[in-house]
Structure 1
Amino acid sequence: MNDEEEQFMRPRVYSCCKCRNQVCLHDDIISKDFQGRHGRAFLLSHSMNIDVGQKEDRQLMTGLHTVADIYCSDCREVLGWKYERAYEETQKYKEGKYILEKAKIIRDNW
């Protein structure tokens, strides 16, 4: 396999903007149309190499949610949050999902 073929076979990943720790796969993105504290954000089904903080109720643009900030497991940079609970029925699909802010992650391996 040549370098170009090998590059094509590797999964596309996003990494922490500070330390380059891999935090999610491109394939885990559910939506790119979310808003974070610092601008645009991705909604993801899964994230890796992160630590989950304390749960707290937060009033977001779409209503009241119980969320927990997520941190890079290497450098502790806050990358976004995890939806623990949605109080409105129309928002229940977010439960257990992750928000990663585009300003806090970079593309890696692509």
Structure 2
Amino acid sequence: MEGLIGPRLYSCSNCRNNVALHDDIVSKAFQGRNSRAFLFSHAMNVDVGPKEDRHLMTGLHTVADVSCSDCREVLGWKYERAYEESQKYKEGKYILEKSKIVKDNW
């Protein structure tokens, strides 16, 4: 029976474009710009914007905003570089705000 059920997905809350897999969640204890957020190891169907340095709660990071590839809604950001050694685990990972995504196929 389990084989009949597809992967649990998260989709853009605006247009329902699939953007991440539940199994790719690294942490649920993050803060986005406007709401709580999840840290994902991967994201799909998103466009990555230009890199910029931002001072976040955990220090200076180089990040790039990520938006839905269908409707262009900004969903969060991608960590491109962490300057503090303790934050290096975030590099290459994605923050998606809970208010911008919805559960799909659960």
TM range (shorter): over 0.9
- Number of residues of Structure 1 aligned to a counterpart in Structure 2: 106
Shift of 1:76: 0.2
Q: Report the Cα distance in structure 2 between the residues aligned to 1:108 and 1:38, rounded to whole angstroms.
A: 22
Change (3 A) 1:45 1:5: closer
Q: Secondary structure at the match of 1:65?
A: strand
Give 1:5 deviation, angstroms. 6.9
Cα distance in structure 2, aligned partners of 1:77 and 1:20: 11
SS at match of 1:92: helix
* Cα distance in 2, alignment partners of residues 21 and 69 from structure 1: 17
Q: What 5-or-longer segments of structure 2 have no aligned partner? A: none
| Distance in structure 2 (CA, Å) of the matches to 1:100 and 1:73 | 14
> Which of 51, 61, 67 is the equivalent residue of 1:55?
51
Unaligned 5+ runs, structure 1: none
TM-score, with structure 1 as normaliser: 0.93
SS in 2 for 1:90: helix
Partner of 1:84: 80
Distance in 2, Cα, partners of 1:5 & 1:31: 26
Q: Percent identity?
A: 77
Structure 1 segments, 4+ long, off by >4 Å, are: none
Amino acid aligned to 1:45: S
Alignment of 1:95 with 2:80, yes or no, is: no
Q: Distance in 1 between matches of 2:19 and 2:3?
A: 24
Paired position in structure 2 for 1:15: 11
Q: Secondary structure at the match of 1:31?
A: strand
Determine the structure 1 residue equivalent to 2:105. 109
Q: SS of the residue aligned with 2:95?
A: strand
TM-score, structure 2 normalization? 0.96
Shift of 1:39: 1.4
* Backbone CA RMSD of aligned residues: 1.3
